[in-house]
Amino acid sequence: MAETFADLIAAEDVLLFVNAAVTSTGQREFRSEAFEQQLSLSFLHEYVRVNYRPVYAAALALDINDHNAALIVEHLLRTAGEASTDEKRTEGALIAARLAVLPPQRVYRLFRALRAAKVNNRRTRAIMRDWLAARPDAGHDAVKYRGGLTTAARHAHLSFEEDELGDFLFRQGKRARYDHAFLEAYRRAHFEQAAIYELPFTVAEGFAAKHGVPRDRFMERIAPRMTRLERLRGQGSGAEAARRVDLTAMPLTRLALYVLSLPLDERVTRRTELTGALRAAARRAAGPYAGTWGRVAAVLDDSYSASGSSVKRRRPLAVAIGCHFLLEALAGAGAYRAHFTSGARDPLLVRPLGPTPLGTRILDALEDSPERLVIVSDGWDNAPPGLAGEVLRVWRKRLDPDRRTSVVHVNPVYDADGFDVRRLAPSVPTAGIRDAEDLAALVEIAQFTEGRTGLAELRAHLDERTGRFLEGAT
């Protein structure tokens, strides 16, 4: 019995960390400051790495956010002496696979952190060399991420002898011109305005300011070089070309954030376009599970706390809206009902206002006895306090002991004081969520949070996810 109890505690510890790694980015939240988030997250990383190192590494195969993925890689490489030979082999494969899907600026930031920490063992250098060798265009990186590439090359002992890339990074002025288009455009852009528009947007922006190019003219001409996200960010700068973005190709949560950034009257004017784009993104995220979830009800938190913080503006509300459209796609036509805490009926016009009457909305959602109830909230039930937990307790114990209705709570906000996402009731599985498109996978993880599954079952699930992740990487 003691062993079983220990396994349950270990499983809870691991799930605690997974929830934190999914939701927290070490930034300020509505109810906690950045330093509180960072301190809480730092403790969890250290605790899980020391006590459950194989599981800590396996988290790289889960839907954790990029901030925590980079932290896991850094901590694994900094403590290589704690791992066995087999563990190092598995960790190396997981690190390489995760680095391949991380944004390049995040990886270069990680390499700078490793250099600052003086982590320069053979395995670290090999991982850095392999990642740099796999980059599709080293010249592009040399221009756009020059500082990061220079730091990584020095740390991995890459000198690029007799190579124009090495001359560009380490031996400025040695060549009168470069064969690589980006390197040559960067050289010319110092004295020729036309060369600005041959560079990536973030680099060209600095040269445009240096040459005094009017913003409207610059945005119009640089538009073909901009990514979709850069075009969305530039949509308020007055250039029509920068605003022509195919919204249907945007990720679901990113698109929801964009919609929330628009004034209400513009959302009304563009209702058809925006709704169509959100539904297209939701269908893409649902994939083969579209229309397979049966009758679904959702309780979606659009209270004032969903406004997020100054660095994560409206993020919780964007996740709720993204989940709304994704659940609509998963449930199929006519089998889905949404209940916003404010009572709003139009998801395009919701605003983060008012208290959080979760208990009342859960009662509304359960009236139809859905097959699934999904609650998207930060867990702060305050109108009245505690009603949601009591409703769920009574429902599960007295009204639905056979679990005809599956109830899952997903929480987009990490509670730094509790080292976890805030829960509504012990009988309801809770999982952290950062991007709405990860909902289906997180519902799968949530089954382990009810306190009835031990570490063996959780490790089997992690092994299966790790195998799929590494198979996909190869």
From first to last of the 474 residues of the chain, give the pLDDT tens digit. 344 667 667 778 888 999 999 999 999 999 999 999 999 999 999 999 999 999 999 999 998 999 999 999 999 999 999 999 999 999 999 999 999 999 999 999 999 999 999 999 899 999 999 999 999 999 999 999 999 999 999 998 887 766 888 889 888 778 889 999 999 999 999 999 999 999 999 999 999 999 999 998 999 899 888 887 787 776 654 444 435 677 888 899 999 999 999 999 999 999 999 999 999 999 999 999 999 999 999 999 999 999 999 999 999 999 999 999 999 999 978 899 999 999 999 999 999 999 999 999 999 999 988 999 999 999 999 889 999 999 999 998 888 888 899 999 999 999 999 899 999 988 888 999 999 999 988 887 777 766 555 677 778 888 888 888 988 876
Number of H helices, E strands in the chain: 23, 7
Interhelix angle 85-101/455-473, rounded to 10 degrees, is: 60
Q: What's the mean pLDDT when you consider all of the chain?
A: 89
Cα dihedral: 6, 12, 15, 21 (round 10): -100
Q: Which amino acid is at 262?
A: L
Do 297 and 395 form a contact (C-beta atoms < 8 A)? no
Give pLDDT, residue 4: 61
Give pLDDT, residue 234: 66
Give pLDDT, residue 298: 97
| Tens digits of residue pLDDT in 436-462 | 999 988 887 777 766 555 677 778 888
> Rounded distance, CA 293 to CA 275, Å?
22
Q: Which residues contact 165 (CB under 8 A, 6 or more apart)?
A: 138, 139, 142, 180, 183
List the one residue out of 179, 200, 203, 171 whose CA is nearest residue 190: 203
- The b/e string for 218-245 (b: 16+ C-beta within 10 A; e otherwise) is bbebbbebbeeebbbebbeeebeebeeb
> Rounded distance, CA 360 to CA 368, Å?
14
Q: Is 314 left (phi over 0), alpha (psi -120 to 50) or beta?
A: left
Residue whose pair of structure tokens reads 């031990």 in the numeric block: 454
Inter-residue long-range contacts of 228-234, CB under 8 Å, 24+ positions, other chains counted? 229/254, 230/201, 230/202, 232/258
The rounded percent of the chain whose pLDDT value lies above 90 is 69
Rg (CA), the chain: 25
Do 326 and 436 form a contact (C-beta atoms < 8 A)? yes
Do 375 and 412 form a contact (C-beta atoms < 8 A)? no
Do 309 and 30 form a contact (C-beta atoms < 8 A)? yes
Do 278 and 325 form a contact (C-beta atoms < 8 A)? yes
Q: Which amino acid is at 305?
A: S
- CA 347 from chain centre, in angstroms, equals 22
List the one residue out of 8, 19, 20, 131 whose CA is nearest residue 77: 131
Do 370 and 298 form a contact (C-beta atoms < 8 A)? no
Residue whose pair of structure tokens reads 């455009």 in the numeric block: 185
Q: Which CATH number does 252-453 carry?
A: 3.40.50
> Rounded distance, CA 267 to CA 320, Å?
17
Instruction: Give phi and psi for 310, each to the nearest 5.
Output: -65, -25
